[in-house]
Amino acid sequence: MSRILFTTMPMAGHLRPGLPMARQLADAGHEVAWYSGAKYAALSERAGARVFPMGADLDFDDAEMDTRANRSGRKPGLQTLKWAILEVFIGPIPGWVAELDAVIDEFRPDVVVAEQGFMAGPIAAERRGIPSVVFSVSPLGLSSVDTAPFGTGLLPSSSPLGRLRNRSLNWMLRSVVFAECQRAAEQVRIRLGLPPLPGYFMDWGAQIADRYLCPSVPEFEYPRRDLPATVEFVGPMLPAGIDAFDPPAWWDDVLAARAAGRPVVLVTQGTLATDPHNLVLPAVEGLAGSDALVVATAIGYDADAVLPADDRPANLRLTPFIPFDRLLPLVDVMVTNGGYGGVQMALAHGVPLVVAGLTEDKAEVSARVTWAGAGVALRTDTPSPEQVRDGVTAVLDGPRYRERARELEAAYARHDGAARAAEVVLEVAASRRTVG
């Protein structure tokens, strides 16, 4: 049996995608541990992992990150993104590595598994001579001659002119826009006694780790002729059964709507950019009075505070949370701000999309939905009720979106993401024992 140490940022969107892989390994009898935020200890334990919580000074969640960003006084957009890279993702790495040294001494892992945003994981493994696996929690962000830089939201182009655009923009991001972030990442490696790495710091995960897992399918990702050999598309790691499900009182309304051929629309803002005024409330207003049954999530908020029961349209069912693996088989369209995990789950269930987000990695998710032909991108963080209504109408009335979503569903069905990811982790763990 192998000992596997998972390491993730203390944020739901970074931790939750790895849970199915961890549970797959734990169920097979392997010893699994997890280093992340204390807030998510119960989730990690439910997946079968022993928990090593971060120290309080290194632990924060999505809400605290938003608070820190607001206190920084920086404007939303590029300024906030640069601040987050420096202060949230790069700055704490030495502290995390110090804690991971103690965890490694106690747990003695055969392999370290990390999500792409938590570079402390593979760096700690590198320092200790332990192999590592990195898995992505967003669209593939590695630099390529065939794609524009991650974060621009531009569609790929491999024509001579497109490759010139890509090369120029990639240089601009590394050498100008994120030059300070690049220097900070380089200084971290020097401080930790590690040799320098070539290229853009956002690509280092694929250089450091023995394997780099993309939890998607090639049909939903831009083709790259220079894809590193360490990268593998394993398919989505869907969180089926991770969350307990106690059907809400209105669950029969969903079943009845589905049986009657009435459209069911899911509206969600994921776990990070959760202000309901951005998408949930405009969607509720735009779809009020329509024939659709609307199920909207208000994660992190009291549903009654978001919209009192007496003010809700008759076709709305508002809930703080609902396990998507239970609801999506009954959904006709998902309206989302572009969280990668939610979009993957929707497409794995053949559900077309209306995507509204632009922050974090959401512009890239929206661009891939457009490129794949699986839905409509509204290209704004704050759509109007009319924009949401028109987007939903376009998807419901446009059979090509449903047909493409079903084609992608078939592509996703050819992969068992958690099972394949677990196989890769065990292969890497076995390589260490063989060498040892």
Regarding whether 260 and 155 lie in a shared domain, the answer is no
Residues 65 and 185 in one domain: yes
Total-model pTM: 0.88
Rounded Cα gap, residues 361 and 16, in angstroms: 17
pLDDT of 82: 86
pLDDT in tens, 138-196: 999 999 999 999 988 899 999 999 999 999 999 999 999 999 999 999 999 999 999 99
Q: Which residue has the higher pLDDT, 327 or 244?
A: 327
Q: Can you tell me the mean pLDDT for 294-309?
A: 84
Shared-domain flag, residues 422 and 378: no
Q: What is the pLDDT of residue 240?
A: 63
Determine what percent of the chain falls in helix, strand and coil, rounding each to the nearest 5. 50, 15, 40
Same structural domain, 419 and 407: no
Rounded-to-integer distance, Cα 23 and Cα 32, Å: 9
- Residue 134 maps to a domain: yes
CA distance linking residue 414 with residue 416, whole number of Å: 7
Whether 242 maps to a domain, the answer reads no
**222 shares a domain with 196:** yes
* pLDDT of residue 225 exceeding 90: yes
Q: Evaluate whether residue 240 is within a structural domain.
A: no
Question: Residue 211, Cα to own-chain centre: how many angstroms?
Answer: 18
Counted domains in the chain: 2
What CATH number does residue 73 fall under? 3.40.50.2000
Residues 221, 180 share a domain: yes
Does residue 201 share a domain with residue 66? yes
Q: Are residues 255 and 401 in the same domain?
A: yes
Residue 347 falls within a domain, yes or no? Answer: yes
Same domain, 387 and 429: no
330, part of any domain: yes
* Amino acid, single-letter form, for residue 407: E
Same-domain pairing of 398 and 268: yes
Residue-wise pLDDT tens digits, 316-354: 999 988 888 899 999 999 999 988 988 999 999 999 999
Instruction: Residue 101: name the closest of 193, 200, 185 by CA.
Output: 193
Is residue 368 assigned to a domain? Answer: yes
| Within-domain flag for 244 | no
How far is residue 4's CA from residue 316's CA, in Å, rounded to a whole number? 44
Whether 286 contacts 387, CB under 8 Å: yes
Looking at the structure, tell me whether residues 148 and 23 fall in a common domain: yes
Full strand arrangement of the beta sheet holding 264-268: 316-319, 293-297, 264-268, 333-336, 353-355, 375-377
Judgement on whether residues 221 and 108 belong to the same structural domain of the protein: yes
111-125 pLDDT, tens digit per residue, is 999 999 999 999 999
- Domain residues for the domain of 329 are 251-413
Q: Would you say residue 401 lies in a domain? A: yes
Mean pLDDT of 93-100: 98
